[in-house]
A and B are shown apart, each in its own frame.
Chain A
Amino acid sequence: MISAAGIAAQLTELALAVVLAPLLTGWVNQCRAWLQNRSAPGLLQPYRMLAKLFQKEVALAHNASPMFRTAPYLVFGCLCVAAAIVPTLGTDLPLNAVADAIALVGLLALARMFIALAGMDVGTAFGSLGARREMLVGFLAEPALLMVLFTASLISHSTSLATIVETLAHRELVIYPSMAFAGIAFTMVSLAENARIPVDNPSTHLELTMIHEAMVLEYSGRHLAMIEWAASLKLFVYSCMGLALFFPWGVAEGGDWLGIVLALPGLFVKLAIGGAGLSLIETVSAKLRIFRAPEFLGTAFLLAVLAMLVHVLLEG
């Protein structure tokens, strides 16, 4: 049942996600700079960026509709709820019960739909091009993500993320072929969904390669800040989802304070390693042409379906 302590723990987790998300982005950028032999911009650079954007005024296109102005907040709100659903620190939090893995995918899709619609709102060539590409990536990545989560759900006989984490954390420590396939698929999907190399490049403004950046080209000031923050949150959510599915050890079971505080250092270490891994992938791989992205994501989808099949056939 919902208790005051539970709500407090939930709020802590949510606040932690919102505050820490830009730090994770900063960490990934820093690792990438090191790997590429550049001098790094500093861990706190994303925060400075956000502060700068918030202070700037908004330059809004003449025919931008209310949709354009509300979308950044809606996207941010959806991703906050998604961050609250994923069991990052503890499994027995009140919001874990109101939405399961399928609802989590739905929330991420809702955020994507709003931002794609906002991209089409002003009616520039770049905006609609970006929106189309984002939706292309989305419709291939979303089912793959759903399949990965289904594999975990079949193992734990539940689509509730909390139950999934609890079940997976208590399994015997051997390599399950289904989870191995699912892990590869999940990595590929996360790269695509977070606008990372090889599908998209977060630091480019070249028209032929942009996806996410093209879509939000028209945004400025506080709206852009909300979108950037939401993008960091998305990376954070995906990272935590990956940790919850594939490295669930250390997450507090139950909603007591002590467990959550103890889970915190574990989360930091796991995120730091995960972020470094992401920057390594980004450094060693090349950006794909946009026409190759469906193949990349199709492979991810296939692997995810294979994961489910393997589970049904071998481990069922």
Chain B
Amino acid sequence: MLASPLHDVLACALGWLAIGLVGVFQPRNFWLVTRVLFPLGAIIGLAIAATALAAIFSPPSSLVLPLGLPDLPFHARVDALSCFFLLLLGSVSAGVSVFAAGYFRRGEGTPPGLQCLYYHVFLSSMALVLVADDAYFFMVVWETMALSSFFLVTSDHGSAEIRRAGFLYLLIAHLGAIAILLCFGALQSGTGNYTFETMRAVQPTPLWATAAFLLALVGFGAKAGIVPLHVWLPEAHPAAPSPVSALMSAVMLKTAIYGLLRVTFDLIGWPLWWWGVVALVIGLVSALFGIVFAAVQTDMKRLLAYSSIENIGLVMAGFGLTILFKAFSMGALAALALTATLYHCLNHAFFKSLLFLATGSVLHATRERSLGKLGGLIHRMPWVAWTALVGTIAIAGLPPLNGFVSEWLLLQAFLFTPGLPHSYLNMLVPVAAAMIALTAALSGYVMVKFYGVVFLGQPREAKLAEAHDAGIRERIGLLWLAAGCVVLGLAPVAAIGLIDPIARAFTGHGLALGGAAGWLMLAPISAERAAYSPLAVLLMIALLVTIAWLSVRLFYHGRMRRTAAWGCGFPHLDARMQDTAEGFGQPVSVVFEPFFRVDQAVPSPFDAKPRYRQSLDDRLWHWLYLPVVRAVDKATALVTVLQRGRISVYLMYSFATLLVLLLFVR
């Protein structure tokens, strides 16, 4: 323990950097990296989580660091919002680091020491993003985060596909960074002072505030993966090693949400109501878009990446609702919506990293990412399968696990919206609530597909018989995250207590918790309005299942005969007759056909070797991105006219430039 929580956090960030540096000097020392450095990183993660947990209720503390340019030092500050996201970062990264200690193998892609450097620089920069308190420091660590994650994404850079994914990621990350930079420019309101302290103190005019908000929405939205800036996400997440995908999806996307919250509620302070509508609409579109595309994926990591878009969409919807309530000075409801938003961030961090790590174990055991070649792994990999089941139920938003709690809170917030003093907005509510409900139901569909095709059924390939279960460190990582999902699901009141200081700081209200039923019962407004007690539900289910099982055993018998599966009289059942991932996605691709750009070739009845091919593409890629790419290509083609390749011509250009400059400058 050092002087203040801020010192502790900075020390931990430095510790991560030091671990990374040790890795550089021992790049091929496999034992050191996996047995010492990664576990040490996990311990630092726990330390950050513990610091944040202790500091979340204390007043903000700030510090001027002896770093940066001579008259432009770095400012750091830690408040409840930072603490909440630091807690998320620390607790999730602890699990991921332990898993990573067992995950990285000899002789794969980048040397382990370098991997260790990028990984810990990535962690450290994310921690620093959360404590940065001036635009300069923020942009430096934000870019460090983007670059280190770029190197992690391209760690298997031998493949052209992965290099392309990395390029796309870097490109969109930088478009976002420019927007964020401009956003800070709009926020300093002509003072020329880029500390967040000044931005908080100065009240920008509505015009500048709007510009800042929209720029922040674009900049942070590009990092979070909102539609239409999502294209990098399904490319970059599958390309990265699984622990990195887990961190990117679980934590990095949340730093973007952190940035949005920081700019909107802290730096700007008083949002306008229509910003909320914009965020809400973008969120709902992203959520539905993400889950519909997740349903038709055949690569398990792409499926999870699209599901991240969906979850970010839900978070954005909650964010939009918070703005709406806050702009209309409905403090208690703003607190409810903000709580749902932050709770969902925390939940998504846990279940999505759990599932990404599970796919990592599957990938290691089978060398297969395609859903069409997996199956039946519950027999070969029980640890991974059962922990993944926890993640599956959680992400599908089903009681009694954590995904349900945040969706419940979000839906509760929607049910209050008709009180808004605006009749058109009130009409938006049923539509928005319907979209949230549809998204939640679809995520159940997607997760049944994911879990059923990967872990259940018969193995679709012969080589799956050799699949091995996860190692001990991988298991610890998986269990840690699964336990997080369970705890967040069963003790929502405790978790909401952590969000309370943020809600009070930003909305002036907290939720009415700790009423008559205390910590057992979640009743955000009042028990008559809505109440939910996950622990009681779980206990009831467990009790009734036990009673049912015992009475069947008691009154009847436990006789069982193992036999072949019933093939309806057809003797040649095999694993290829199971539903494929494409088959499972087919109903969704039919119901939501307008979403896709379908390219398919169906064989004629007379083909001797029939081949069926179908590819579903993102329309936005063709509508939005390819025209831009073509325009850039055209522009560059025009510029190449200047490029003659002869030194005399270039000297001519220089001379002409000089003349023109002389003319102007004199």
The answer to whether A226 touches B548, judged by C-beta atoms less than 8 angstroms apart, is yes
A80 at the binding interface (Cβ < 8 Å): yes
Is A124 touching B567 in the complex (CB atoms < 8 A)? yes
Task: Count residues of chain B with CB under 8 A from any CB of chain A.
Answer: 82
Kindly list chain A residues whose C-beta atoms are within 8 Å of the C-beta of B429.
308, 312
The answer on a CB contact under 8 Å between B565 and A124 is: yes
Q: What is the 8 Å Cβ interface bit string for chain B, positions 567-611, against chain A (1 contact, 0 not)? A: 110000101011100011001001100000000000000000000
Find out whether the CB atom of A113 lies under 8 angstroms from the CB atom of B529: no
Q: When A54-B556, A65-B379, A143-B438 are in contact, do A312 and B418 touch as well, CB less than 8 Å?
A: yes
Q: Is A194 an interface residue (CB 8 A)?
A: no
**A interface footprint on B454-472 (CB within 8 Å = 1, 0 otherwise):** 0011100000000000000
Kindly list chain B residues whose C-beta atoms are within 8 Å of the C-beta of A67: 378, 389, 456
Known A55-B556, A294-B587; contact A60-B541, beta-carbon cutoff 8 A: no
Are A123 and B575 in contact, CB atoms less than 8 angstroms apart?
Answer: yes
State whether B418 touches A73 (Cβ < 8 A): no
Q: Is B613 an interface residue (CB 8 A)?
A: no
Which of B170-178, B395-403, B629-637 participates in binding chain A?
A: B395-403
Are A160 and B530 in contact, with the CB atoms below 8 A? Answer: yes
B557 contacts across to A, CB distance below 8 A: 55, 57
- B537 & A226 in contact (Cβ 8 Å cutoff): no
A49 part of interface (Cβ distance < 8 Å): no
Instruction: Return the contact of B448 from the options A117, A160, A226 (Cβ within 8 A).
Output: A117
| B-chain residues with CB within 8 Å of residue A124 when the two chains form the complex | 565-567, 573, 577-578
CA distance A294 to B415 in the complex (A): 27
Cβ–Cβ < 8 Å partners of A138 in chain B: 441, 444-445
Judge if B434 is at the interface, Cβ distance under 8 Å. yes
Set of chain B residues within 8 Å of A80, measured between Cβ atoms: 540, 544, 548
A84 to B577, CA, bound (A): 40
Q: Tell me whether B541 and A81 are in contact (CB under 8 A).
A: yes
Within 8 Å of chain A (Cβ to Cβ): is B411?
yes
Whether A128 contacts B584 by the Cβ 8 Å rule is yes
Given contacts A142-B444, A147-B437, A150-B415, contact A81 B376 (CB under 8 A): no
Measured CA separation A295–B451 after assembly (Å): 27
Say if the beta carbon of B559 comes within 8 Å of chain A: yes
- A123: contacting residue among B397, B437, B565, CB under 8 A: B565
- Which residues of B sit under 8 angstroms from A61, Cβ to Cβ? 562-566
Which of A62, A125, A301 lies in contact with B562, CB distance below 8 A?
A: A62
Q: What CA separation (Å) do A146 and B407 show in the bound complex?
A: 13
Choose one: A73, A123, A159; the contact of B458 (CB below 8 Å): A123
Beta-carbon contact of B560 and A57 below 8 Å: yes
Answer whether residue B76 sits at the interface, using C-beta atoms and an 8 A cutoff.
no
Q: Which of B253-282 contact A (CB under 8 A)?
A: none
Interface presence of B531 (CB below 8 A): yes
Contact B444 A76 (CB under 8 A): no
Interface contact tally, CB-CB below 8 A: 262
User: Which residues, 87 to 138 on A, are CB-close (under 8 Å) to B?
Assistant: 95, 97-100, 102-103, 106-107, 109-110, 112-113, 116-117, 120-129, 131-133, 135-136, 138
Q: CA separation between A59 and B565, bound complex, in Å?
A: 9
B531:A131 contact, CB within 8 angstroms:
no
Please, which residue of chain A has its CB at the minimum distance from the CB of B553? A222
Choose among B397, B583, B591 the residue that contacts A132 (Cβ–Cβ < 8 A): B583
Instruction: Report if A25 contacts B (CB, 8 A).
Output: no
A99 with B437: CB separation less than 8 A:
no
CB closest residue in chain B, given A63: B458
Q: B393 near A: Cβ within 8 Å?
A: yes
Contact residues in A for B561 (Cβ distance below 8 Å)? 57-60
B433 interfacial contact with A, CB 8 Å = yes
Is the beta-carbon distance between B579 and A125 smaller than 8 angstroms? yes
> Judging by beta carbons under 8 Å apart, are A117 and B568 in contact?
no
B427 close to A313 (CB less than 8 A): yes
Least CB separation from A157: chain B residue: B529
Measured CB to CB, the nearest residue on chain A to B408 is: A102
Contacts of A122 in B (CB 8 A): 457-458, 565
The DSSP consensus for interface residues of chain A is helix
CB distance from A176 to the nearest CB of B (A): 16
Q: Which of B451, B540, B542, B566 contacts A218 (CB under 8 A)?
A: B566
Q: Is A286 an interface residue (CB 8 A)?
A: no
- Nearest-Cβ distance from residue B529 to partner chain A, whole angstroms: 5
Given A131-B452, A147-B434, A222-B552: A312 and B457 within 8 A (CB)?
Answer: no
Q: Which residue of A lies closest to B563 (CB)?
A: A59
A305 within 8 A of B: yes
Q: Are B545 and A76 in contact (CB under 8 A)?
A: yes
Residues 212-240 of A, flagged 1 when their CB comes within 8 A of B and 0 if not, give 00000110011000100000000000000
- Chain B residues lying within 8 Å of A163, measured Cβ to Cβ, are 528-529
> Is A23 close to B, CB under 8 A?
no
| Per-residue interface assignment for chain B, residues 178 to 215, with 1 indicating a CB less than 8 Å from any chain A CB and 0 otherwise | 00000000000000000000000000000000000000
| Alpha-carbon distance between A206 and B399 when the two chains are bound, in angstroms | 34
A60 and B562 form a contact (CB under 8 A): yes
- Which residues in A have their C-beta under 8 angstroms from that of B444? 109, 112-113, 135, 138-139, 142
Cα of A3 to Cα of B536 in the assembled complex, Å: 16
Q: A107-B399, A121-B456 are in contact. Are A308 and B560 (CB under 8 A)?
A: no
Given contacts A110-B399, A305-B431, contact A57 B445 (CB under 8 A): no
Q: Which residues of chain A are within 8 angstroms of B541 by Cβ–Cβ distance? A: 74, 77-78, 81
Question: B305 an interface residue at 8 Å Cβ cutoff?
Answer: no
Q: Which of B451, B527, B565 contacts A117 (CB 8 A)?
A: B451
A212 to chain B, nearest CB (A): 15
Shortest Cβ distance from B586 into A: residue = A132
Q: Is the CB of B415 within 8 A of A136?
A: no
A201: which B residues are within 8 A, CB to CB? none
CA of A135 to CA of B429 in the docked complex: distance in angstroms? Answer: 26
Interface membership of B26, Cβ < 8 A? no
Task: Give the distance to chain A from B559, nearest Cβ to Cβ, in Å.
Answer: 4
Residue of B nearest to A220 (CB): B566
Q: How far is the CA of A157 from the CA of B526 in the complex (A)?
A: 11
In contact, A146 and B445 (Cβ under 8 angstroms) = no
C-beta contact mask, B393-429 vs A, less than 8 Å → 1, else 0?
1001111000010001001100100100000001101
Name 26 interchain pairs, CB-CB below 8 A, sorted by A. Answer: A61-B563, A74-B541, A77-B544, A95-B536, A97-B517, A98-B521, A99-B536, A106-B404, A109-B444, A113-B396, A116-B448, A120-B448, A122-B457, A125-B573, A127-B457, A128-B584, A129-B579, A138-B444, A140-B591, A147-B430, A147-B437, A154-B415, A158-B529, A308-B433, A309-B431, A312-B426
Residues in chain A within 8 A of chain B (CB atoms) = 1, 54-55, 57-63, 65, 67, 73-74, 76-78, 80-81, 84, 95, 97-100, 102-103, 106-107, 109-110, 112-113, 116-117, 120-129, 131-133, 135-136, 138-140, 142-143, 146-147, 150, 153-154, 157-160, 163, 207, 217-218, 221-222, 226, 291, 294, 298, 301, 304-305, 308-309, 312-313, 316
Closest 3 CB pairs between A and B?
A: A123-B457, A128-B579, A123-B458
| B interface residue numbers (CB < 8 A to A) | 375-376, 378-379, 389, 393, 396-399, 404, 408, 411-412, 415, 418, 426-427, 429-431, 433-434, 437-438, 440-442, 444-445, 447-449, 451-453, 456-458, 516-517, 521, 527-533, 536-537, 540-542, 544-545, 548-549, 552, 555-557, 559-568, 573, 575, 577-579, 583-584, 587, 590-591
Beyond the given A63-B565, A143-B441, A153-B415, could you list 16 further A-B residue pairs with CB under 8 A, ordered by the A residue number? A54-B556, A84-B540, A95-B540, A98-B540, A113-B444, A117-B452, A122-B565, A123-B458, A123-B575, A139-B445, A140-B591, A142-B441, A146-B441, A150-B415, A222-B552, A301-B438
